[in-house]
């Protein structure tokens, strides 16, 4: 099936999503789509895709952040004797595990 988007013709496999929404939400969508000069469908697809992408990216950053924190904690735990530059990090060494616990709770 061909779909015209932004003056381009792209062959895209399409699927359907049905949702029941309150009348005021439908009115907002129609008004916003009209302001942008797009169809309701194009507006909804664009808005949902933007939000979905943001959620996925935020989750990836959170996973990366927790993994990096664990790696830092492991490196700090593995050092037998603190080297002079690491001695200033002793507070950080104690704080990282607590920070990881707090992040996991959220």
pLDDT of 56-77, one tens digit each?
Answer: 888 777 776 777 777 777 777 7
Q: What is the pLDDT of residue 9?
A: 53
- 59 within domain boundaries: yes
Q: Based on the structure, what is the number of domains in the chain?
A: 1
Q: Mean pLDDT over all residues of the chain?
A: 78
Q: What is the pLDDT of residue 72?
A: 74
- 39 within domain boundaries: yes
Give dist(CA 55, CA 43) in Å, integer.
Answer: 18
Collapsing DSSP to helix, strand or coil, 6 comes out as: coil
- 12 within domain boundaries: no
Give dist(CA 36, CA 43) in Å, integer.
Answer: 8
Q: Distances from the Cα of 46 to the Cαs of 7, 18, 50, in angstroms?
A: 16, 16, 6
- 10 within domain boundaries: no
**Count of other CB atoms within 10 angstroms of residue 58:** 10
* Structural domain span for residue 64: 21-105
- 66 within domain boundaries: yes
Q: Distances from the Cα of 49 to the Cαs of 2, 29, 32, 45, 90, in angstroms?
A: 19, 15, 16, 6, 44
Residue 97 has pLDDT above 90, yes or no: no
């Amino acid at each position: 099936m061909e779909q015209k988007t932004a003056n381009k013709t792209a062959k895209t496999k399409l699927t359907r999503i049905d949702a029941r929404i309150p009348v005021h939400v439908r009115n907002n969508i129609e008004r916003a789509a009209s302001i942008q000069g797009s169809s309701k469908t194009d507006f909804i697809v664009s808005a949902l895709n933007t939000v979905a992408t943001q959620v996925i990216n935020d989750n990836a950053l959170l996973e990366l952040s927790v993994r990096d924190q664990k790696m830092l904690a492991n490196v700090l735990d593995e050092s037998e004797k603190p080297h002079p530059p690491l001695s200033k990090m002793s507070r950080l060494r104690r704080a990282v595990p607590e920070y990881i616990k707090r992040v996991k709770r959220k």
